[in-house]
Amino acid sequence: MLQHPGITTTDVDTTKAVAVLALDKVTKTFPGVKALSEVSLSLYPGKVTALIGENGAGKSTVVKILTGIYQPDGGQILVDDKPTPFPVPQAAATHGVTAIHQETVLFDELSVAENIFLGHAPRNKFGLIDLAAMTEKARALLSGIGADIDPATKLKDLGIASKHLVAIGRALSIDARVVIMDEPTAALSHKEIEELHELVESLKAQGKAILFISHKFDEIFRIADNFTVFRDGQLIGDGAIAEVTEAALVKMMVGRDVSQIFPQRTPNVADTVLSVAGYSHPTEFEDISFELRKGEILGFYGLVGAGRSEFMQALFGITRTSAGAAEIDGAPVQIKSPADAVDNGIVYVPEDRGKQGAILDLPIFQNVSLPSLGRISSKGFLKLAEEFALARSYAERLDLRAASLDTHVGNLSGGNQQKVVIAKWLATQPKVIILDEPTKGVDIGSKAAVHEFMAELAAEGLAVIMVSSEIPEVLGMSDRVIVMREGRIVAELADDDLKPETLVRHAAGI
């Protein structure tokens, strides 16, 4: 097993095959973030290479570089050992590189055949699309990969697994040499996963090079030939999967000093403030029960798609549950809308700042006061002085850096936008605060500030729920951690059980 950051490894497998597609010491920097630092990666014909890493390790950036969406700042892309830049996505396609994404990027309103051949449809002698030929070719392609799908069906009428098959059909139709699969099984059922694995085998047999991104160790060991592990944008190790153990992979993936960057706190846990019993949803989560105490930080860990955010949204009244009850301070509460949740002292700071957090076209003070308007108005008229005072006090508390409270939130940096969102919720004087991926996409400096602040909130007696997919953050901040997998709670960990390996094992079900 190799463990040497930044060093290129060639001929990973004992064969002397030339890599179809490789990255050679590629670096990619975004303002404030070094996403990739001299990473190398080689894909061989007929081999499946698993790319492993935590969220934020740089996997998505690699996919975007390999498909020509991002340009590397340093290093090069090698096709058949020859340096080949991919200045545009079409260049990647021309060289036979195709990606199948987590969420399929196809066209719902077009037929299966049209989706497969969009952009390179067979033409008849008048230069028009030859529908009959296209349908026939699509049928042949699909049956070739064992998919029983009528090419005339509209894509929107297919399930997610069938959509993946169509995406794969499309990949084959452009004569792909390299197929990148970005967490293809994240949203699939057990049976569909089996079918996908068989398909990967058949692609292998056809000599395609496959880059397989997955969090699930069982499938990595089942279908991958080689592995490459990234952590924090660096190459940590690579080699043949047969020569490595699960434990070693987990260690490479998460192994770093966890404690140093997080605030030291002595949890002062008091009475139960929130208790949830049997929360269920027909499709997204089942039987979620836990208790949350004052002054506590409760971490929710799980893989993407484990149902954590979905449950939190239900707890906050955005979506309805099919069963379950909640109590605040021992009294039953009915939460049917976000307004109910806010009234009961529960607030939710969503993951997607841009989409669900702040209103970018409104000034800071109006964003901060938005959920508290009822308190700072009388008969529908706002008391502007109180509104400003409210905004000012929370902006100061959070050390919000802006020219004035009149500044539009859209003009602030990511970290300061996050502070606006947090200020907005604190201003409602909540009892329970749910932070969903609080530091996702936030630069290092602001990250530490958010962590400090979370510790302060808990110290002041607030109960904090933190949903996070970053293991160091979960371990560094939480007093207790609930691990979810496939919509269920699979473990509740505290004290000595809080180890990276344990978290990953429970989350991945190994």
Partner 1 sequence: MLKRLITSREALLVGAIGLLLILISTRFSGFAAPSNLANVFNDTSPLILLAIGQMIVILTKCIDLSVAANLALTGMVVSMVNVAMPGLPIIFIVAIAIGLGALLGMFNGILVWKLQIPPIVVTLGTMTIFRGIIFLLSDGKWVNSHEMSPAFKAFPRAEILGLPVLSWIAIFAVIVFGIVMTRTTLGRAFYAAGGNPHAATYAGINVGKTQFWAFTISGALAGLTGYLWVSRFAVAYVDIASGFELDVVAACVIGGVSIMGGIGTVAGALLGALFLGIIKNALPVVDISPFWQLAISGGAIIIAVILNAQANRKKGRIILKQAEQAS
Binding residues (CB under 8 A) for partner 1: these are: 30-33, 35, 60-61, 64, 316, 318, 337-339, 341-342, 348, 350, 352-363, 366, 369-371, 373-374, 377, 380-382, 384, 406, 410-411, 414, 424, 440-441, 443
Nearer to partner 1, 240 or 370 (CB): 370
Q: Convert 370-407 into a string of H (helix), E (strand) and C (coil).
A: HHHCCCCEECCEECHHHHHHHHHHHHHHCCCCCCCCCC
Smallest gap from residue 412 Cβ to partner 1 (A)? 9
Report d(CA 183, CA 432) in Å as an integer: 33
Smallest gap from residue 249 Cβ to partner 1 (A)? 23
**Rounded to the nearest 5 degrees, what angle is found at the Cα of 399, between the Cα atoms of 396 and 402?**
90
Smallest gap from residue 414 Cβ to partner 1 (A)? 5
Nearer to partner 1, 327 or 443 (CB): 443
Report d(CA 443, CA 391) in Å as an integer: 24
Nearer to partner 1, 162 or 417 (CB): 417
Helix, strand, coil shares of the chain, percent, nearest 5, are 35, 25, 40
Terminal-to-terminal C-alpha distance of the chain: 21
Report d(CA 438, CA 450) in Å as an integer: 7
Smallest gap from residue 320 Cβ to partner 1 (A)? 14
Report d(CA 176, CA 277) in Å as an integer: 50
Report d(CA 162, CA 257) in Å as an integer: 42
Smallest gap from residue 187 Cβ to partner 1 (A)? 19
Report d(CA 360, CA 90) in Å as an integer: 34
Smallest gap from residue 101 Cβ to partner 1 (A)? 12
Phi, psi of 200 (to 5 degrees): -60, -40
Smallest gap from residue 382 Cβ to partner 1 (A)? 5
Nearer to partner 1, 214 or 226 (CB): 214
Nearer to partner 1, 239 or 430 (CB): 430
Q: Convert 325-375 into a string of H (helix), E (strand) and C (coil).
A: EEEECCEEECCCCHHHHHHCCEEEECCCHHHHHCCCCCEHHHHHHHHHCCC
Smallest gap from residue 471 Cβ to partner 1 (A)? 18
Nearer to partner 1, 36 or 166 (CB): 36
| DSSP assignments along 152-167, one per residue | TSBGGGS-HHHHHHHH
Q: Which two tokens stand for residue 140?
A: 């042949």
Report d(CA 311, CA 319) in Å as an integer: 9
Nearer to partner 1, 127 or 380 (CB): 380
Q: Which two tokens stand for residue 330?
A: 């021992």
Smallest gap from residue 428 Cβ to partner 1 (A)? 9
Smallest gap from residue 316 Cβ to partner 1 (A)? 8
Nearer to partner 1, 173 or 369 (CB): 369
Write the single-letter amino acid at 78.
L
Nearer to partner 1, 31 or 127 (CB): 31
Nearer to partner 1, 217 or 365 (CB): 365
Smallest gap from residue 321 Cβ to partner 1 (A)? 17
Nearer to partner 1, 59 or 164 (CB): 59
Smallest gap from residue 303 Cβ to partner 1 (A)? 17
Phi, psi of 442 (to 5 degrees): -105, 140
The residue among 222, 122, 218, 223 whose CA lies nearest residue 179 is 223
What are the residues whose beta carbons fall under 8 Å from the beta carbon of 313, sequence distance 6 or more?
319, 348
Burial class (CB in 10 A: 0-12, 13-18, 19+), 217: buried
Which residues lie across from 484 on neighbouring strands? 302, 489
Nearer to partner 1, 38 or 182 (CB): 182
